[in-house]
Amino acid sequence: MMRLKEYVPILGSFLFSIYISAQPAEKLIKVIVAPNEIDWTYAVGEQAEFSITVLKNNIPMKDVMINYTIEPEAGLEQIKILDSGVLLLKDGKTTIKAKRFNEPGFLRCRVTVEVAGKEYSSFATAGFSPEKIVPTTTLPSDFKEFWNKGKEALSEVPMNPVLTLLPDRCTDKVDVYHVQLDNIKGKIYGVLCTPKKAGKYPGILRVPGAGVTFYFPNVSEAEGGFITFSIGIHGIPLTLDRDVYRNLEDGALENYWTFNLDDRDNAYFKRVYLGCIRAVDFIESYEHFDGENIGVTGQSQGGALSIITASLDSRIDYLAAFYPALSDITGFLHGRAGGWPQIFVDDYTNKPEKIATSKYYDIVNFARFLKVPGWYSWGYNDLICPPTSMHAAYNVITSKKELHIVPETGHWRYQEQLESKNKWLFGKLKKSQE
């Protein structure tokens, strides 16, 4: 039985775990780069052509000098420039033809201009048969056995849920609780939003982006008729002062994704992945859950955790992921872009035991076993989770799936994408109740 204790309001903030680079800010000088295909996508062997426009006051500038490079999406120091040059744009516009690209992947055109001593730049990324990209990581023979043992060990740990009411976060329609659960090691904490109106509701598990940050309860979804459970992954309460999270991110938890990377049984993400399953345990046990319908959603690291949770836990019915991280992270070892956290790029991480451990935590290998419908979205201009890495995972999924590419986006998304995701996920969960 759950233990519930009243909590006198002392909160100043919650963990807001959306790891997302801000949408680029508007500037006086705009450099616009775009491939000549409306979807920015070509077949292997075709020739991309990039249009370039430099605007001031939204009018093409005359007699402006640009520098450009064209390069494959190899990332970091592995970038090999295929073409570069300097051009004078007499009327503020020009086009550049790239060399033919003869393998599945991505080609990027970068443009820089200096105006009044200030540098402005932009880029665009063209895709070439991305549906043919194959992973560089491989599937360990005991992958499923390893995670089944992890789940068995978790099942032996009592959940011991403690719910703490947060009155200052509640509304007239929604109750908000801070939740503590026992995990495979230590605790897992989350924020539960539940409708006050009596009834049974579908559940939504919200998994966090990277970092140690703070966020607020998702009251609007609960007002829409859902139980939402937003979790942190670091085993620390979500009711602490903001400075605690900042100090942990810059100190004890800096680069947490590399902790014990040479030991598959003690790697940092083992407790995290199993903690997501523990969060599903909690939703399943909650008295107002409808007993059947659970969706999981997140972006970046949260996009990865959405795929992982849906793969490991058959109680998940739908997943929705924006630009998933932790995908094909061995890409850099094969001369192409790997997914966040882009770790296999130096002598510190490029060790056989670390590479071997990564295969148990790469979302490509979880994606292979997905059985539930999924909604996915990302852009070609993402430098944090390169599109090559995300397509490597998406292409091995055999369950029902739909991909919504918005090519110009980087590690961010438009409001329209969020609305599309919500319409899909909410619609699926509501329909399942009928």
Q: What positions carry a catalytic annotation?
A: 300, 382, 411
Query: How many angstroms separate the CA atoms of 167 and 177, rounded?
Result: 8
Q: Which residue has the tokens 């799936």?
A: 401
Q: Label the pairing between strands 49-56 and 59-60.
A: antiparallel
| Token pair belonging to 410 | 């980087």
Q: Is the peptide bond before 104 cis (omega within 30 degrees of 0)?
A: no
Query: How many angstroms separate the CA atoms of 269 and 28, rounded?
Result: 43
Name the E strands within 129-226. 162-165, 174-182, 187-195, 201-206
At position 200, the amino acid (one-letter code) is K
Query: How many angstroms separate the CA atoms of 338 and 78, rounded?
Result: 11
Phi/psi of residue 137, each to 5°? -75, 160
Measure the CA angle with vertex 11, ends 7 and 14; round to 5°: 115
Q: Which residue has the tokens 């109750």?
A: 175
Strand partners, 136: none
Q: Which residue has the tokens 């490597």?
A: 392
Query: How many angstroms separate the CA atoms of 290 and 294, rounded?
Result: 9
